[in-house]
Amino acid sequence: MPKRIDFKGVVFAPIAGYSDVGMRRLCAMRGADMTVTEMISAKGLVYGSDKTEDLLHTTDSEKIKCVQIFGSEPYFISKAVEHKALEKFDVIDINMGCPVPKIVKNGEGSALLENIPLAMQVVKAARIAGKPVTVKFRLGVTADKLLAVDFAKAMQDAGASAITVHGRTREQMYSGVADWDEIAKVKKAVEIPVFVNGDIVDKKSYDKAMQITDCDGAMIARGALGNPKIFSDIKGLEIKDYSLKEDIILHLDTMLSFHHENYVAANFKKHLAYYCRGMRGQKEIKLAAFACKSADDIRQVIERYFV
């Protein structure tokens, strides 16, 4: 029987290159109610890509495990959601918001905003697995072409259990300011749970976003990078003797337990660049991090610069 999910609270978002198993474990330990993988290609999963399956590691720390897949062909979506590698996930999220040109040109990601009938077919295909299906999408294509309200209603009609709305258009990519007022309109238009996403970087911005949108929860992306404690801060959870250094080491050790050292050494540098954000001498720390060639090099940077 699928786990019964109460869609509310704070969620760690799917972020390409960052929502790895170590980061998801850390965010869950610090209070994230649900954690989402990096976006996974439905076709890549069906065709057995090792690179795709490498993104699907999980830990028992994750309270509600969500896998995000992308694709625009219902056949491949239906095959992907029944793949053995997804059995451990509680929720299937469909990416209909990615603005990256190569994704959009393939008719995937935010391209589906302009093809509601196909988007509905994709959701229905994902429901074959018998698990809750959620959808993450943007406000629209441009400021003059906002589609979120109608799109949200269609996703609800297609059987989505919840939706997440990123408060930017496809044209904006990741620039500009998230429009929480538009997300509020979506919340009023549907009966299923809605998560607000965009520009939530601390407790103050979370409270403001929730006040404006009246959403059921919030999905936090870049605000959590380098700061997994944001979830504890938002929920008012006190962590006795908190140590960022210990969190970083746990993140690194988790990655090493699932991946080859060369992979971890190459990919952990960008996390260090976020972990040192706002610290004195952050430029020096970043230079040291990007010079690392092994896990031991990374440990030396952690020991030298973090307390």
- Three-state DSSP state, 114: helix
Query: Residues 66, 98, 215, 276: which is the catalytic one?
Result: 98
End-to-end CA distance of the chain: 45
Euclidean distance between CA atoms 71 and 80, whole angstroms? 10
Whole-angstrom distance, CA of residue 76 vs CA of residue 191: 29
Q: Looking at the chain, list the stretches that DSSP marks H as alpha helix, in order from N- to C-terminal side.
A: 21-29, 42-46, 50-53, 74-81, 101-105, 116-126, 148-158, 180-189, 203-213, 230-235, 244-258, 261-267, 269-275, 282-290, 295-305
CA distance 194 to 213: 9
Q: How far apart are CA 281 and CA 301, in angstroms?
A: 13
Does residue 98 have an active-site annotation? yes
For residue 300, CA distances in Å to 290, 292, 297, 305 come to 13, 9, 5, 9
Residue 48 DSSP SS3: coil
Alpha-carbon distances, residue 38 vs 20, 23, 31, 70 (angstroms)? 7, 11, 19, 10
Cα(209)–Cα(261) distance, integer angstroms:
40
CB 106 within 8 A of CB 76: no
The span from the CA of 289 to the CA of 268, in Å, is 9
Q: Nearest to residue 81, comparing CAs of 114, 46, 113?
A: 46
**So which residues are the catalytic ones?**
98
